[in-house]
């Protein structure tokens, strides 16, 4: 289980607020474990969030280190953030950064079924652009599509403190 958020007042539990963070972030950092060594890649993503299950869709080349790792060890940890703006204070410890973020653990799979790949890429483009695109078998054959399924994730928001610029 993902450990609970220490600063509880910053936790986001409202599903619509979580979706807003996922809609805005657009880049996910996916952490993997490669024979005991950590490996993290930034990626664009698409998502669905239904019945407390978050599915993240990634696309990329058909070869590479992350695909090799996921095939060996599908356990991943992910993080995405948005609304990142630094703010100032009168003393050093009042400086900070606003943010909204989601992180969690999931299981990754490299999709092989053509229809699942088309579905994943459609969701990917919807999240990235807000538009509906169509794909055919030929288009999906030249890319890999990774699906991460996560039931265990948390969201957190740090607004700008009152009275600071
Ligand atoms: C903002 C952003 C968005 C991206 N979106 C996508 C996406 O949607 N799809 C996609 O396929 N890729 C995306 N990338 C590139 C992605 O981070 C990886 O470089 C790429 O997916 C290849 O990963 P791999 O493990 O197969 O790399 P490989 O080419 O197999 O990696 C070999 C080695 O290259 C180095 N390396 C790999 N990636 C990076 C990197 N990003 N920066 C520095 N060194 C690196 C590492 O040391 C790694 O061990 C994005 C990158 C950024 C910064």
* Domain annotation covers residue 1: no
pLDDT at 123: 98
SS (H, E, C) 63-129: CCHHHHHHHHCCEEEEEEEEEEEEECCCCHHHCEEEEEEEEEEEEEEECCCHHHHHHHHHHHHHHHH
Distance 102 CA to ligand 1 centre (A): 21
Number of domains in the chain: 1
Residue nearest to atom 18 of ligand 1 (CA): 41
* Domain annotation covers residue 164: no
Structural domain that includes position 34: 8-156
Residues in the chain: 165
State the DSSP string of 16-63.
Answer: HHHHHHHHHH-EEEEEEEETTEEEEEEEE-EEEEETTEEEEEEEE-SS
Beta bridge partners of 43: 28
Question: What H or E segment, with its residue span, contains residue 139?
Answer: helix 137-141
Query: Mean pLDDT score of the chain, rounded to an integer?
Result: 95
Single pTM value for the model: 0.95
pLDDT at 40: 98
Distance 66 CA to ligand 1 centre (A): 8
pLDDT at 93: 92
pLDDT at 163: 78
Question: CATH number of the domain that 108 lies in?
Answer: 2.30.110.10
pLDDT at 1: 63
At 164, the pLDDT band (50, 70, 90 cuts) reads: confident
Q: How far from the centroid of its chain's Cα atoms is residue 4's Cα?
A: 18
């Amino acid at each position: 289980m993902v450990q609970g958020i220490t600063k509880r007042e910053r936790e986001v539990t409202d599903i619509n607020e979580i979706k807003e963070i996922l809609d805005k972030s657009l880049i996910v950092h996916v952490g993997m474990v490669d024979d005991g060594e950590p490996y993290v890649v930034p990626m664009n993503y698409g998502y669905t969030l239904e019945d407390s299950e978050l599915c993240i869709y990634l696309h990329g080349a058909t070869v590479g280190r992350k695909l090799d790792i996921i095939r060996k060890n599908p356990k991943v940890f992910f993080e995405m953030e948005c609304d990142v703006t630094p703010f100032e204070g009168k003393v050093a410890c009042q400086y900070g950064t606003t943010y909204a973020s989601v992180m969690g653990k999931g299981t990754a799979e490299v999709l092989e079924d053509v229809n699942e790949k088309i579905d994943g890429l459609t969701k990917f483009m919807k999240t990235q652009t807000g538009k509906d695109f169509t794909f055919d078998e030929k288009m999906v054959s030249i890319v890999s599509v990774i699906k991460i399924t996560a039931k265990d994730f948390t969201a957190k928001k740090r607004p700008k403190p009152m009275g600071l610029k």
